[in-house]
Amino acid sequence: MSRLRQGGLIDRSRPLSFSFDGRSLAGFAGDTLASALIANDVALVGRSFKYHRPRGIFSAGSEEPNALVELGAGARREPNTRATTVELYDGLIAASQNRWPSLAFDLFAINALLSPLLGAGFYYKTFMWPAKAWEKIYEPAIRRAAGLGRASLEPDPDAYEKAHAFCDVLVIGAGPAGLMAARASARAGARVILADEDFLLGGRLNAERCEVDGEAGSAFAANAVAELASLPNVRVFSRTTVFGVYDSGIYGALERVGDHLAEPLAYAPRQRLWRIVAKRAVLAAGATERPIVFGGNDRPGVMAAQAVQTYLNRFAAMPARQIALFANNDSAWRVGLDIARAGGEVAAIIDIRRAVAPTLTEEARRLGVRILLGGQVVSTSGKRLRSIKVATEKGVERLSVDGLAISGGFSPNLHLAGHHGGRPAWKDDIAAFVPGRAPPGLLVAGAAAGRFGLAACLADGVEKGAMAARDLGFHRKPDAPPRAEDEAAAVEPFWRVGASRGAAFVDFQNDVTAKDVQIAHAEGFRAVEHLKRYTTLGMATDQGKTSNVTGLAIMAALAGRSIAETGATTFRPPYTPVAIAAFAGHHRGKDFRPTRPTPTHAWAERQGAVFVETGLWLRAQYFPRAGERDWLESVTREVKATRASVGLIDASTFGKIDLQGRDVGAFLDRVYINTFSTLPIGKVRYGIMLREDGFVMDDGTTARLGETHYLMTTTTANAAKIYQHLEFCLQKLWPELDVKLTSVTEQWAQIALAGPNARRVLRAVIDAGVDLSNDALPYMGAREATVMGGVKARLFRVSFSGELGYEIAVPARHGEALANALMEAGRGYDIAPYGVEALSVMRIEKGHVSGPELNGQTTARDLGFGRLASAKKHYIGRVMADRPALRDPARPSLAGFKPVDRVSRLRAGAHFTALGKPAAIEHDEGHMTSVAFSPSLGHWIGLGLLARGSERIGERMRACDPVRGGDVEVEICSPVFVDPDGERLRV
């Protein structure tokens, strides 16, 4: 056990058991998986991406490049989880990944021997030939060998959700700067949200031995958090990563609600995606320690110095027995001193610098720590680190150590500050990039802004928090920052040990070495964005948090440019990976989008309807009866029953738009191609609307209910679009017109009753005194009435089926009662409810166009409505519809089609070619848009768009359907197959 006997911010009264690669281990509440593994002396945690090199734990945070594990089992198994961010829970199951057959013995480690062949760009150079082999051989082989964990292939059993939050000031990060910023803003009266990715707030205050206002840093942090949590104007989010900055002060954040539990609590989501709208924000995300590049710097046991400090102080876990430090800065010295004070053995502090602040060296000497100034680690050995070789002026020396803490300086976590494209600026004095132009409203505080001392962070936090609040009108003199010391933070830029031996890694996660950077440079991929793409430096889950700056510093040196000239790669959201499920939230499965039932849904269900989704609506597709073998049999019966006697269908889904005002007639004349101002009161007219570009947008009927009152119907699919279009016309094009639009789609249930007995059935439900005779309510007539004893109703004598038809509209709550009443009244006539399939069959039999013909590529003329278009007025689309190409008589136009042999089935989507011509694109003359089996004719029929179609009645064509293997000879005919003169409509 490497667990120290005392100390740490773990709860020793709550032991937890967990397993790693099948081995049972123990930890405590407050541990991460990484700290618990360290406490159990587990050093080998994973295999690297490309070379399958053994890897351990490098960091103690979300920047972790190495310790990626598969977490959980079964449907909850999640690959590529950073052990350093996983909060330990009882029963946690973790497994190493990217190894076979075992972590200790991985056959793919042979890749390491091949590494001279597998350098940057090896895919492009090696797998070029033969081209065919890429998909079948090379790619699968590469994918098997290279890679990360295995995803569970089972459905995700957990729930996710999205939520919105609003605040004056969002503080990102709850370290010393963030806590002070939140406190200053909150005390000034601003609404504050404080978010931190950790489960314990305080940042480095919990990881370093420090004092603030006379108390231990961790105690100070706990008290500050408690104060914030107690304020009514503050919300504190732990386990929450702010991952992106979007427009207008919108921040994306992921809250891990249940990831610290074996399963989320019942009824709680696993994760919650927050959209935080903040007037101001303070980014206090701290800084990330960089490794130094030298041979064997990736060996398990080599760890970031601050991570060693975190494991030691926060988790009371000593990562190794004998630890050496290798650094270019003062911070690492304090880590060495912490180890020594905790009773650990510090083999040496190796610093590339020849001179270091005497306060550090004196303290090290006092604690008996050996100091090697001007030294460099040149190589390491051991599967788990056993020894290192150090070169100094006096020669090369071998040190037996099982731990090496390294530090190449610090990179401010400025990612979010760059999400709007602001480029970071290089600062030589701290050897780091600091934020450039930040997104509007975002201030950067503390280490994220390159201010590295504790006192400086606390003071900067107070200042930025107060500044953000003051900006919003919350004036309060900020309190003095708490007392603390600025520890020594000198640094000398240093990236790479030039004279080292063995693979020297820049990016651990992607196995990118210093040599790969050299290759990229030699081959001309010198710009940082090219370097990234050519070598994969800085890609994948860690996005190069530990490696980017080092990589580009090496490139800068190779290219003889400064780092400032070389520049950094672009920062894009998300800061750390976010599960896709979190973006979906509740909208999964049947809740992907709303389901809209019709007013007669329950009635249709009782009638045994099979339903179909049409847009958001759920409509009855057909009503199978006992003994019917398939849908076609049911649909054929429904059509026959309607044509022979009477049938009904819920037509409520059509868009219904109420138009009132003096100018409605004039308005309709401008949006329809035909004239509506002349429509008499009590009449309905069919109309076509064009888009501005001259193509047909929608069709439908509009009734005139009064002098200044019209009611328009649109197709189901276009209901919202047409409303929007009309609203646009009124608001933008013709605001002078007195027209008021109101959607009444939801208000009215509308049932279409069709068939020769429709009038007789309707008469039974209509209240006495309403004359339904052909004279009183002729075809295309409309009137108001009451039904079922006083229920207000609107009657429209219109027909989509081609039969005598009425549409009866009643307030939606009465829709079901109306359906029942009509069924009862129609019992003697064998009334049949029919669904959208039968509706479609009947409209095809009548040659009525619908969605497949109103496809956005057809003109009114194409569809046979050329004569409907008025030449006496202007309307939307008229000018553009007159373009020569749209008037071309050779354009595909609407025609009907029958199979010549009458027994063949037609298929929508089949393409027309002349007989004897091959089924090739150059012979294409159009396509079949809609087909149906016509019960009236006893064979399949189709509508289609064929070049000069309407002039070619009687000709024969091939209808080729290579997708489904169909090739049918068809005869061109009129698109109206049933009752061409419309006699049945007018009876």
Partner 1 sequence: MFDFLTRFPPALVIPPGRYGAAGAGVIATRIEGLEIASLAAAPDRIEELRGRCRADFGLDLPAGPRRAAGEDVEFIGVGPGRWLALGGEGLEERLRSRLSPAAAICDQSDGLILFDLTGPRLRDTLAKGLAIDIDPSVFRPGDAATTAVALIGVTFWLLDEKPTFRFAVPRSYAPAFSRFLVASAAEFGCVVS
Residue 946: CB partners within 8 Å, gap ≥ 6?
Answer: 892, 893, 895, 912, 925, 926, 952, 957, 972
Omega before residue 624 within 30° of 0, cis: no
Q: Which is nearer to partner 1, 542 or 816 (CB)?
A: 816
Q: Which is nearer to partner 1, 541 or 708 (CB)?
A: 708
Largest CA distance in the chain: 117
Q: Which is nearer to partner 1, 813 or 887 (CB)?
A: 813
Q: Which is nearer to partner 1, 5 or 590 (CB)?
A: 590
Q: Which is nearer to partner 1, 239 or 984 (CB)?
A: 239
Least CB distance to partner 1 at residue 574 (A) = 20
Least CB distance to partner 1 at residue 671 (A) = 18
Q: Report the C-alpha dihedral over residues 594, 598, 600, 603, rounded to 10 degrees.
A: -40
Least CB distance to partner 1 at residue 681 (A) = 16
CA distances from 594 to 586, 590, 613, 891 (A): 11, 8, 11, 39
Least CB distance to partner 1 at residue 743 (A) = 8
Residue pointed to by tokens 């082999």: 133
Least CB distance to partner 1 at residue 748 (A) = 8
The rounded distance, in Å, linking the Cα atoms of 34 and 2 is: 13
The DSSP letter of residue 929 is E
Least CB distance to partner 1 at residue 847 (A) = 31
Q: Taking a C-beta distance cutoff of 8 angstroms, is the pair 905, 966 a contact?
A: yes
CA distances from 720 to 141, 592, 709, 716 (A): 50, 19, 20, 9
- Beta carbons within 10 angstroms of residue 803's beta carbon: 26
The rounded distance, in Å, linking the Cα atoms of 379 and 31 is: 32
Q: Which is nearer to partner 1, 245 or 455 (CB)?
A: 245
Least CB distance to partner 1 at residue 271 (A) = 13
Burial class for 903, CB neighbours closer than 10 Å (0-12, 13-18, 19+) = exposed
Helical ranges in 237-383 per DSSP H: 305-313, 331-341, 358-366
Q: Which is nearer to partner 1, 430 or 657 (CB)?
A: 657
Least CB distance to partner 1 at residue 502 (A) = 52
Residue pointed to by tokens 């159009």: 926
Residue pointed to by tokens 């490696």: 547
Least CB distance to partner 1 at residue 745 (A) = 8
CA distances from 956 to 707, 876, 896, 952 (A): 51, 37, 11, 9
Q: Which is nearer to partner 1, 209 or 596 (CB)?
A: 596
Omega before residue 54 within 30° of 0, cis: no
The rounded distance, in Å, linking the Cα atoms of 976 and 409 is: 81
Q: Taking a C-beta distance cutoff of 8 angstroms, is the pair 20, 94 a contact?
A: yes
Q: Which is nearer to partner 1, 690 or 751 (CB)?
A: 751
Count the alpha carbons within 13 Å of 647 in the hemisphere toward its beta carbon. 28
Q: Taking a C-beta distance cutoff of 8 angstroms, is the pair 744, 658 a contact?
A: yes
The rounded distance, in Å, linking the Cα atoms of 803 and 756 is: 7
Least CB distance to partner 1 at residue 258 (A) = 10
Q: Which is nearer to partner 1, 474 or 617 (CB)?
A: 617
CA distances from 511 to 56, 96, 115, 250 (A): 14, 17, 10, 35
Kindly list the residues in this chain that would bind partner 1 in the complex (CB under 8 A). Answer: 157, 159, 161-166, 191, 265-269, 275, 277, 585-591, 593-599, 601-602, 611, 617-618, 658, 660-661, 708, 735, 738-742, 744-749, 811-814
Least CB distance to partner 1 at residue 334 (A) = 43
Single out the residue of 294, 290, 299 nearest to residue 505, CA to CA: 294
CA distances from 33 to 28, 73, 86, 727, 950 (A): 10, 16, 5, 58, 74
Q: Which is nearer to partner 1, 6 or 230 (CB)?
A: 230
Least CB distance to partner 1 at residue 711 (A) = 10
Q: Which is nearer to partner 1, 496 or 656 (CB)?
A: 656
Burial class for 263, CB neighbours closer than 10 Å (0-12, 13-18, 19+) = middle
3-state secondary structure of 559: helix
Least CB distance to partner 1 at residue 596 (A) = 4
Q: Which is nearer to partner 1, 368 or 735 (CB)?
A: 735
Least CB distance to partner 1 at residue 775 (A) = 30
Q: Which is nearer to partner 1, 165 or 931 (CB)?
A: 165
Q: Taking a C-beta distance cutoff of 8 angstroms, is the pair 411, 330 a contact?
A: no
Least CB distance to partner 1 at residue 697 (A) = 22
Residue pointed to by tokens 């694109």: 921
Q: Which is nearer to partner 1, 215 or 591 (CB)?
A: 591
